[in-house]
Structure 1
Amino acid sequence: MADDTPRTLPPEALEAWTEAVCAELSLPREDVSVALILDLARDVAHGVARPAAPLSAFLAGLAAGRRGGSFEEVEAAVDRVSRLARSWPGS
């Protein structure tokens, strides 16, 4: 049977999902920038390949967490990965 579930989320559903995941992982919601991560995913998907986007977001988060996990560390890791993706051969 085909799955007819929509694969895009309206903004309010994305916000609800973000809040639910933050609660599940005991993360303060104010520490999560959806726009920052979506921009990273866009840069990687367009500059490298679509499947590299979620992997890159995970790796940026892992790197930031290992460096202390502050929002500044997240921003720095995302910036580095985005710059790498934008300079990737063929992008």
Structure 2
Amino acid sequence: MKSQEETLEEWCRTLLQAFELEDTQIDIDAVLSLAGVAAHSVVRPAAPLTTFVAGFAAGVAAGTGQADQKTSMDAATALARKLSKDYAAVESGTGASGTVESGTGETDAG
């Protein structure tokens, strides 16, 4: 029987192949970690939504030449992680202004 890690790696390869993205490197642990932060900082369903939006943003950035794939993924993951944590802080009243710096200017998250 395959481990969860082996299954996820196989599934990731299957997805990448189906989307003709075989040369793309995915840091599965980083994606799962981001999902965990979003699920615990916002609400559970925020996990797939957050990872999808971060992945989409990374794809747009890489596709338009703003940055290479790895840099785009790292930046999108980092921003989504920060936003999730900031959201939790604002909701709990413990800090964060609700304003975050993105690559395209400031966005009011609140």
TM-score, length-scaled by structure 2: 0.68
Measured on the aligned residues, the alpha-carbon RMSD in Å equals 1.8
Deviations 1:33-57 (A, max 9, x none): 1011001100100000110111111
Shift of 1:19: 1.1
Paired letter, 1:47: S
Amino acid at match of 2:57: A
In the superposition, the TM-score normalised over structure 1's length comes to 0.81
Q: Which moved more, 1:58-67 or 1:28-37?
A: 28-37
What residue identity is the alignment partner of 1:17? Answer: W
Q: How does 1:40-51 map to 2 (within 5 A)?
A: 40-51=34-45
Judge conservation of contact 1:43–1:85 (CA < 8 Å) in 2.
Answer: yes
How far apart are the structure 1 equivalents of 2:20 and 2:29? 20
Runs (5+) with no aligned partner, structure 2: 64-68, 95-110
User: Structure 1 stretch 9-18 or stretch 39-48: which is displaced more?
Assistant: 9-18
Deviant stretches of 4+, over 6 Å = none
Any gaps of 5 or more consecutive residues in structure 1? 1-8
Partner of 2:76: 77
Structure with greater Cα Rg: 2
**Aligned AA for 1:73?**
S
Q: Distance in 2 between matches of 1:71 and 1:61?
A: 11
Identify the match of residue 47 of structure 2 among 48, 53, 69.
53
Change (3 A) 1:64 1:30: closer
Alignment partner, residue 97 of structure 2:
none
How many pairs are equivalent?
83
Identity of aligned residues (%): 33
- Cross-structure match for 2:7: 13
